[in-house]
Amino acid sequence: MNNPQLNKQGELQHLLSTEGLPARILYDILDRAATFVDVAGRGEIKKVPLLHGKSVFNVFFENSTRTRTTFEIAAKRLSADVVNLNIGSSSTSKGETLLDTVDNLCAMHADMFVVRHASSGAAHLIAKHVAPEIHVINAGDGRHAHPTQALLDMYTIRHFKKEFHNLRVAIVGDILHSRVARSQIHALTTLGVPEVRVIAPKTLLPSHVEQLGVRVFHDMQQGLRDVDVVLMLRLQNERMQGAALPSAQEYFKYYGLTQEKLALAKPDAIVMHPGPMNRGVEIDSSVADGGQSVILPQVTFGIAVRMAVMSTLAGGK
Amino acid sequence: MNIQIKNGHLIDPKNGIDAVRDVFLSAGKVLAAGTTPSGFVADKIIDATGLVVIPGLIDLAARLREPGYEYKATLESEMSAAVAGGITSLACPPDTDPALDEPGLVEMLKHRARALSQANVYPVGALTYGLKGLELTEMAELADAGCVAFSQADAPLTDTRVLMRAMQYAATFDFGVWLRPQDSFLARNGVAHDGEVATRLGLLSIPVCAETIALATMLQLARETGVRLHICRISSAAAVAMIRAAKKEGMALTCDVSMNHIHLSEMDIGYFDSNCHLIPPLRHQRDRDALRIGLLEGVIDAICSNHSPVDEDAKQLPFAEAEAGATGLELLLPLVLKWAKQGKHSLAEAIAKVTLNPAQILNIDAGHLSIGAVADICIFNPECYWKVEASALKSQGKNTPFLGMELQGKVLYALVNGQIVYQSN
């Protein structure tokens, strides 16, 4: 089966998932992102003309402020024209299908779509549908993938840890519902991290998750032992309403990241979170704001990584 | 009208015939096979040299989408697709809109189908009103109107007391009850097998226990009530094992599987191919293999197309939102042949799964070509390859996981009641 993300030359055509991409492409994106961060040496990322004259459409069928904003900033720093569309769920209730919406936007001469949608596979569907000169970036589809988040996490890990091949990384929390976790797992294993752990109660783990190449822990104390990187996941409040978890309090007690639990990891372990955080639910404030937290650098790097993805797709090959 | 089918390879599982024989038809019936009956003068001779002649196929699950879903397919389109697939009798599930829960609806459907004079249509009546799982339908009236069995189609029946009452009532009249086992709580919102692929793609999943728990309930209630139970479209190795055990214990139980599930697995979903969004979900390769073994052993009695034409727009959506189902009438024979070829099973064995066995489940005198039998016949070229593509399908539904594939086996003639109702050009 052809990888829908690559063109016939094996170059990145769309960024839909971190799964199935060769390590070379991931490293290229991280290296390219580094050039933008270097430019930002004094705290500001310089505007570059790589996407001058191109139109980037941020099409968000699901609400997001942070991700959309960082994509918007990234596109503007690349000198692209940016159009933001928060479509939400209203347009479907008006009867317009996803692909009708996309066709309309194509008619407005979009060069690149940044798409977020509540359904897994939405970005794949759009990528399959659009003309070959149009690029699609998945900004999160259902529970499936959020590749730019995973790439910015990889960038952050590399920034602080230099190498991937000697790391032990733990992903903690709601793996079942998390597109971030899936994308992180594929990126970490592709980049050669020898041990990726997932830590969660059984109700928050998808079945056969070990087939993604991870070690499964249900006990956070055991799972955090000697890890180099702790990737926390956001726990949606609605998880408490179904049968997944009894209460936020109990969850925090057993799976919330506190200083005591973090002390089990390596002394120089870093703590990351894709945001927005639920303080006191999955992470204690003292950890989130503590010396091992690199949560704010993640956000900064996120802009550079998204610039790297966009400029790679736009033909800066 | 007298028809002679000449030089064809006749396969008639019921009569153990698997040889080149001429078949002679007169007045809509099989007059003879082999030697020409004295005084027989053919009005028409069909040269079947190099072709295979079999009883017309009998499909246990073909949605014709009428009444109510004419935008997906019409009786005209699907009836012509059926005979183009060599299907001369078909059972249609009650999940129309409105559901087949009133005798008038059933009579109308039968009447409309008869007027088209193509395949025989056997409606399966709704077991409960509106398939809501609450109140029993007038089963006896529906049977008088033409229903051959009663079913919930894919609608849940969660109230086990209602299910038991429905089985008791059906057993009173010796009506068959056809059920697809799926626990609706465990399957809630699920669109794919609870396995590696759903985990990778982030799709809501349906665990195997959704099937086995419901099946255990159905089997136990069937033991209690003595109803004639037919289990529809099982998908898992665990369900095959349970049915094997139930049959061994002596339960009068039959079972079918969809043609898609003996060839495909969850892996075929690939990158969200909505054509593989099916009910039940495609499961693990081990499940598929167990279904194939179950078929061979006779644990599974029949293969059905589970024909569910879906309009194109309803498939052009993200996987979970895309409507489940695939067209199937015209693929049934080639996919049965493919199973036979891959497993090195005899043609007769394979053909029985879509002729004799489903006829027995339907309790109709069909699916064989004995002397005096109704001349429902399919003639196909076993060597001819054809490509599955929209233009090659008569069905209004063009979606199938097999789109773009080459399949072997092409129907050239279909006869119903001794009349040629389909001839390939």
Look at residue A39 in the predicted model and tell me its pLDDT.
52
Label the pairing between strands B17-20 and B57-59.
unpaired
How confident is the model over B55-75, as a mean pLDDT? 94
Distance from CA of A122 to the nearest CA of B (A): 5
3-class secondary-structure state, position B344: coil
What's the mean per-residue pLDDT of chain A?
92
Label the pairing between strands A81-86 and B302-304.
unpaired
Contact between B255 and B301 under an 8 Å Cβ cutoff? The reply is yes
pTM of the model: 0.94
3-class secondary-structure state, position B400: coil
3-class secondary-structure state, position B256: strand
Spell out which residues of chain A touch residue B202, defining contact as CB-CB under 8 Å.
Answer: 120, 141-145, 179, 182
Distance from CA of B305 to the nearest CA of A (A): 26
Of how many residues is chain A composed? Answer: 317
State how far Cα A301 lies from the chain centre. 12
Spell out which residues of chain A touch residue B272, defining contact as CB-CB under 8 Å.
Answer: 120-121, 124-125
Confidence check: pLDDT of A81 > 80? yes
Look at residue A92 in the predicted model and tell me its pLDDT.
57
Contact between A157 and A167 under an 8 Å Cβ cutoff? The reply is yes
Label the pairing between strands B2-6 and B23-26.
antiparallel
Give B243-283 pLDDT, tens digit per residue: 999 999 999 999 999 999 999 999 999 999 999 999 999 99
Q: State both tokens at B254.
A: 């039959």
Interchain contact, B318 vs A206, CB within 8 Å: no
Q: Tell me the C-alpha distance between B305 and B326, whole Å.
A: 9
Confidence check: pLDDT of B136 > 60? yes
Q: Tell me the C-alpha distance between A228 and A167, whole Å.
A: 6
Report the complex ipTM.
0.93
% residues pLDDT > 70 (chain A): 94
Q: State both tokens at B152.
A: 């919930």
Confidence check: pLDDT of B339 > 70? yes
Look at residue A317 in the predicted model and tell me its pLDDT.
41
Give A186-222 pLDDT, tens digit per residue: 999 999 999 999 999 999 999 999 999 999 999 999 9
Label the pairing between strands B377-387 and B52-55.
antiparallel
Confidence check: pLDDT of A38 > 70? no
Give A149-185 pLDDT, tens digit per residue: 999 999 999 999 999 999 999 999 999 999 999 999 9
Give A238-251 pLDDT, tens digit per residue: 777 778 899 999 99
Look at residue B171 in the predicted model and tell me its pLDDT.
98
Q: Tell me the C-alpha distance between B386 and B56, whole Å.
A: 20
In this complex, is the C-beta atom of A213 within 8 Å of any C-beta atom belonging to chain B? no
Look at residue B255 in the predicted model and tell me its pLDDT.
98
How confident is the model over B155-179, as a mean pLDDT? 97
pLDDT band at B374 (very low <50, low <70, confident <90, very high): very high
Q: State both tokens at B392.
A: 């090659």
Of A4, A120, A211, the CB nearest to B201: A120
Q: Please count the other Cβ atoms lying within 10 Å of the Cβ belonging to residue B117.
A: 12
